[in-house]
């Protein structure tokens, strides 16, 4: 709320409003437009600068935790809140104005962060305060935060000389612009390709549901009519990917694969030069800060500890998986040869997933498409919620929402029968959303009735939304104090699941469900956070631990006991047949080594680029260099595979630079942790309560290795995943 002095005009009052961060618990998304976002981020930067300047003026005898470290934690709060909401809009409601504003703000944000850690007066106060005797009297969590702040400054160049600091700021600014351009290229290239199919024979093998969705998409774009239908294929998930997986016509599969392979590889969206420049700048950044490689810089405070250890983890897993991988490739080639009636020695990349699916269908007499009628989206959501309500002693209720379109149209979604007893106003009010498809939910503690948090769900694809799925924390509530529980948290879950078609609801694939459960693991990490400091809450953990809750959640999409909570036929209400459950279990680890190796290859590429770019990539074509690096670990392909780094937003603009290994690292941890659930009960509330208390609620308040030992009572078993997959005894 803004309080105005007497004599302030209405125009001035309007000018001083900052809806991106002065919005109460729920933002009014209708007011969050690009131009206002620019104003509010800049206003947030100025507030942060004023607060940091106040810290800088402290004398050593004046310093204490509250006026140094608590003040530092709180300084960028408005800026980060505004930036977070702007990110939600740019990733889900992309438009030219949002892009322009973000391009303008990126250098300013980079300059702010660079100037903050380059401020010698501020660093002097923080360094002196961190060494003061009173730090040893703080709680363990606050002592941890003090050290993390010191590490942040040192790793950001606080001890560099003025020329070095200036160069570091230039590097960070350029990296921000490059990563933004990389994202734009991927999205624009994805949206630039469409294929309108007039002859249904070209789509032989596609399901009725897919055909209906493709026909609806074509109609919306002005192609065909109900009497003379056409079908639209796009590169937005899951359109072309499903064609490659399911279409019986090889030419159709090939055309879709070639289109996907061209993303990030053709002008005007070629990302090769951006990747090269990013790697050069990251190498220079690491050298300035005294690290041998960017990987060492990034991993210094993560579980792996160094680039070398992360590389050893990846290489060790590749060696262990390789024999089974080679055997699986041989089986696939033999099967394709039998299907085609002639010996096939190399895989067409557009054939791999198609024939793998056919082989699984033959081997298990089962097609996972049979599961779709039992996997209607609302049933799945209710079942998923019920699983984690039971495990974590929570209640999840859908909230009424309102969407105000730019043209003034208003869409309300009212959820009957969702009374939220004992909850505060934030859990019961009508929630504004950024698109009419977005839903909102409140999470309450089942025992106390406390409102733990709320989250948005934006589940289906559209042209303004980037691909993939993710959870974005938006705000962590005020920490608990005395008898008062912590304030509610706020986050968003975004995905691109199979949408509804005319006459049918959204029927999800099993992959869709795994994706949904995976992201909901991140969401539970956000919603159940209960730490002494906001800085440690939820997913604010090291990147090689952050995927543990999400990888863990995927297990409940396979266990019969949990599947029965949501696998109900959308028309008849009948539970999924027992033989479907049995066959799904058998199929779970079909070609596990192939899946492992695919992910490990990306991790290997990521680590090598961030550790040995000059030796292995400098001056080379990115596709050729990637092929040379990964050839020993890949299946023999008939065509050169474009480097995944052309489109890998995770490692260029996301948080996984020199960190893609963490997916497999966390999957090992998750496989090990789930053994406790398997032993004591996959829906056992006692195990769920311990997991909530010792891992989910603790965030980054303790080192990840300690949290792990607190729950498991021991260190991780490094072979847990391969044992689970049947690749090791």
Q: Residue 486: inside a domain, yes or no?
A: yes
139 and 206, same domain (yes or no): no
Q: Residue 435: inside a domain, yes or no?
A: yes
151 and 206, same domain (yes or no): no
Q: Residue 410: inside a domain, yes or no?
A: yes
202 and 132, same domain (yes or no): no
123 and 232, same domain (yes or no): no
Q: Residue 275: inside a domain, yes or no?
A: no
Sheet holding 451-458, edge to edge: 394-399, 439-445, 451-458, 489-494, 470-475
Specify the pLDDT at position 467. Answer: 83
Structural domain span for residue 225: 193-262
Residue 417 has pLDDT above 50, yes or no: no
58 and 114, same domain (yes or no): yes
Q: Residue 114: inside a domain, yes or no?
A: yes
Task: With cut-offs at 50, 70 and 90, classify the pLDDT of residue 368.
Answer: confident
Specify the pLDDT at position 7. Answer: 36
pLDDT tens for residues 452-509? 999 999 999 988 998 889 999 999 999 998 888 999 999 999 999 999 987 889 999 9
Q: Residue 36: inside a domain, yes or no?
A: yes
Q: Residue 234: inside a domain, yes or no?
A: yes
Residue 416 has pLDDT above 70, yes or no: no
pLDDT tens for residues 619-637? 999 999 999 999 999 999 9
Q: What is the mean pLDDT of residues 132-144?
A: 97
389 and 503, same domain (yes or no): yes
Count of Cβ atoms closer than 10 Å to residue 328 Cβ: 21
* Residue 148 contacts residue 156 (beta carbons within 8 Å): no
Q: What is the mean pLDDT of residues 268-290?
A: 96
Task: With cut-offs at 50, 70 and 90, classify the pLDDT of residue 5.
Answer: very low
Q: What is the mean pLDDT of residues 360-372?
A: 90
How many alpha carbons lie under 13 Å from residue 514 in its C-beta half-sphere?
A: 9
Task: With cut-offs at 50, 70 and 90, classify the pLDDT of residue 424.
Answer: low
What percentage of the chain has pLDDT greater than the value 70? 97
Task: With cut-offs at 50, 70 and 90, classify the pLDDT of residue 422.
Answer: low
Residue 97 has pLDDT above 70, yes or no: yes
Q: How far is CA 181 from CA 269, 643, 651, 653, 659, in A?
A: 9, 18, 14, 9, 21
- CATH number of the domain that 507 lies in? 3.40.390.10
Specify the pLDDT at position 469. Answer: 93
Q: What is the mean pLDDT of residues 377-392?
A: 97
Q: What is the mean pLDDT of residues 390-396?
A: 98
Rounded CA gap, 281 and 175, in Å?
A: 7
- φ/ψ of residue 647, rounded to 5: -125, 0
Q: What is the mean pLDDT of residues 591-605?
A: 96
Residue 612 has pLDDT above 90, yes or no: yes
Q: What is the mean pLDDT of residues 405-424?
A: 70
Residue 549 has pLDDT above 50, yes or no: yes
- φ/ψ of residue 234, rounded to 5: -125, 175
104 and 207, same domain (yes or no): no
Here the tokens at position 142 are: 């606050």
152 and 209, same domain (yes or no): no
Q: Residue 235: inside a domain, yes or no?
A: yes
Q: 660 Cβ partners below 8 Å, 6+ apart?
A: 602, 603, 606, 607, 648, 650, 651
Q: 584 Cβ partners below 8 Å, 6+ apart?
A: 366, 368, 371, 510, 558, 563
Q: What is the mean pLDDT of residues 376-398?
A: 97
What percentage of the chain has pLDDT greater than the value 90? 84
Specify the pLDDT at position 484. Answer: 87
Rounded CA gap, 50 and 533, in Å?
A: 22
pLDDT tens for residues 633-667? 999 999 999 999 999 998 998 788 999 999 999 99
Rounded CA gap, 23 and 29, in Å?
A: 10
142 and 206, same domain (yes or no): no
136 and 218, same domain (yes or no): no
382 and 428, same domain (yes or no): yes
87 and 226, same domain (yes or no): no
Q: Which of residues 159, 183, 215 is at a domain's end?
A: 159
Count of Cβ atoms closer than 10 Å to residue 720 Cβ: 19
Residue 711 has pLDDT above 80, yes or no: yes
Q: How many domains does the chain have?
A: 3
Specify the pLDDT at position 103. Answer: 87
Task: With cut-offs at 50, 70 and 90, classify the pLDDT of residue 728.
Answer: confident
């Amino acid at each position: 709320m803004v309080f105005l002095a007497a004599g302030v005009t209405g125009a001035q009052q309007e000018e001083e409003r900052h809806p991106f961060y002065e919005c109460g618990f729920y933002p009014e998304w209708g007011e969050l437009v690009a131009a206002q976002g620019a104003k509010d981020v800049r206003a947030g930067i100025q507030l942060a600068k004023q607060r940091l300047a106040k810290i800088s003026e402290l004398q050593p005898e004046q310093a204490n935790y509250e006026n140094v470290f608590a003040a530092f934690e709180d300084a960028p709060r408005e800026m980060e809140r505004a930036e977070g909401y702007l990110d939600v809009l740019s990733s889900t409601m992309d438009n030219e104005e949002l892009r322009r504003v973000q391009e303008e703000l990126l250098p300013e944000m980079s300059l702010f962060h660079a100037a903050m850690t380059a401020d010698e007066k501020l660093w002097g106060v923080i360094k002196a305060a961190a060494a003061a005797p009173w730090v040893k009297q703080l709680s363990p969590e606050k002592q941890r935060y003090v050290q993390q702040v010191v590490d942040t400054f040192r790793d950001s160049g606080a001890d560099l000389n003025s020329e070095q600091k200036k160069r570091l700021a230039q590097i960070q600014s350029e990296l921000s612009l490059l990563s933004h351009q990389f994202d734009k290229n991927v999205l624009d290239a994805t949206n630039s390709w469409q294929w309108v199919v007039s002859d249904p024979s070209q789509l032989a093998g596609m399901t009725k549901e897919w055909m209906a969705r493709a026909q609806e998409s074509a109609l919306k774009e002005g192609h065909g009519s109900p009497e003379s239908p056409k079908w639209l294929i796009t590169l937005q998930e899951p359109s072309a990917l499903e064609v490659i997986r399911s279409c019986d016509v090889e030419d159709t599969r090939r055309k879709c694969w070639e289109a996907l392979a061209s993303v990030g590889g053709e002008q005007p969206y070629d990302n090769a030069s951006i990747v090269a420049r990013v790697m050069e700048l990251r190498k220079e950044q690491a050298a300035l800060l005294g690290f041998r490689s960017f990987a060492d810089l990034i991993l210094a405070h993560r579980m792996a500890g160094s680039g070398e250890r992360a590389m050893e983890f990846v290489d060790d897993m590749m060696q262990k998986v390789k024999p089974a991988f080679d055997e699986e490739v041989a089986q696939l080639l033999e099967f394709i040869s039998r299907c085609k009636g002639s010996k096939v020695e190399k895989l067409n990349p557009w054939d791999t997933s198609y024939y793998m699916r056919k082989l699984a269908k033959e081997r298990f007499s089962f097609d996972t498409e049979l599961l779709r009628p039992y996997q209607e989206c609302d049933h799945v959501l209710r079942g998923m919620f019920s699983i984690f309500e039971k495990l974590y002693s929570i209640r999840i209720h859908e909230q009424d929402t309102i969407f105000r379109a730019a043209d003034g149209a208003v869409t309300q979604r009212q959820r009957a029968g969702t009374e939220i007893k004992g909850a505060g106003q934030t859990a019961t009010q009508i929630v504004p959303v950024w698109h009419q498809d977005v839903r909102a939910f409140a999470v309450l503690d089942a025992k106390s009735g406390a409102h733990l948090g709320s989250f948005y769900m934006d589940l289906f694809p559209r042209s303004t939304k980037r691909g993939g799925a993710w959870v974005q924390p938006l705000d962590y509530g005020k920490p608990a104090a005395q008898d008062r529980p912590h304030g509610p948290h706020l986050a968003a879950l975004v995905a691109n699941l199979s949408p509804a078609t005319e006459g049918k609801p959204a029927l999800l694939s099993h992959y869709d469900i795994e994706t949904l459960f995976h992201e909901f693991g991140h969401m539970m990490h956000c919603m159940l956070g209960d730490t002494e400091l906001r800085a440690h809450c939820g997913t604010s953990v090291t990147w090689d631990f952050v995927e543990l809750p999400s990888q863990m959640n995927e297990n409940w999409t396979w266990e019969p006991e949990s599947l029965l909570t949501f696998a109900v036929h959308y028309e008849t209400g009948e539970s999924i047949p027992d033989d479907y459950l049995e066959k799904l279990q058998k199929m779970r680890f079909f070609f596990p080594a192939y899946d492992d190796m695919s992910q490990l290859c990306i991790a290997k590429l990521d680590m090598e680029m961030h550790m040995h770019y000059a030796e292995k990539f400098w001056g080379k074509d990115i596709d050729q260099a990637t092929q040379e690096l990964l050839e020993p670990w890949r299946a023999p392909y008939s065509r050169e595979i474009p480097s995944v780094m052309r489109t890998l937003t995770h490692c260029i603009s996301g948080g996984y630079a020199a960190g893609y290994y963490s997916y497999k690292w966390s999957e090992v941890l998750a496989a090990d942790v789930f053994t406790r659930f398997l032993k004591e009960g996959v829906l056992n509330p006692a195990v769920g309560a311990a997991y909530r208390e010792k891992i989910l609620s603790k965030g980054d308040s303790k080192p990840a290795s300690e949290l792990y030992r607190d729950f498991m009572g021991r260190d991780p078993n490094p072979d847990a995943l391969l044992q689970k997959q049947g690749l090791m005894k």
